[in-house]
């Protein structure tokens, strides 16, 4: 199953200030609250302050794309190079971020 991990970096006012995407194939469907880890030598959720351990906030299956999108929210920017950064100019109209509802 093709799964897209989508990360919203938010500030203390819950504004989106950054974003990341990572695609992978999984033999299962992820669920809300599930956490992902990657090996011992490379941290998936590495920041300049250490490693995070966020759980999935929301899961969406896009019928047209035939992909599952998993949303994570964090407060620090990631430093691991496996993530594709969503540019600042694209945050408001990023296809990946638009898969999810905005919670006020």
Answer yes or no: is 56 within a domain: yes
Domain count, the chain: 1
For 28-57, what is the mean pLDDT?
89
Q: What is the pLDDT of residue 104?
A: 46
Phi and psi at 89, nearest 5°, equal: -70, -25
For 27-47, what is the mean pLDDT?
88
The Cα–Cα gap between 50 and 74 comes to: 13
Answer yes or no: is 104 within a domain: no
Answer yes or no: is 71 within a domain: yes
Please give the residue range of the domain that contains residue 85: 2-99
Question: Is the pTM here over 0.85, yes or no?
Answer: yes
pLDDT tens digits for range 56-72: 999 999 999 999 999 99
The Cα–Cα gap between 22 and 43 comes to: 14
Helix/strand/coil percentages in the chain, nearest 5: 10, 40, 50
The Cα–Cα gap between 32 and 57 comes to: 6
């Amino acid at each position: 199953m093709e799964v897209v991990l989508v990360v919203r970096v938010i500030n203390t006012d819950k504004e989106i200030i950054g974003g990341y995407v990572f695609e992978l194939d999984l033999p299962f469907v992820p669920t809300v609250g599930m956490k992902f880890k990657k090996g011992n030598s490379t941290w998936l959720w590495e920041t300049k302050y250490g490693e995070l351990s966020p759980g999935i906030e929301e899961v969406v299956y896009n019928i047209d794309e035939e992909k599952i999108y998993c949303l994570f929210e964090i407060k620090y920017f990631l430093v691991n190079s496996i993530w594709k950064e969503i540019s600042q100019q694209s945050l408001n109209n990023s296809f990946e971020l638009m898969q999810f509802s905005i919670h006020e």
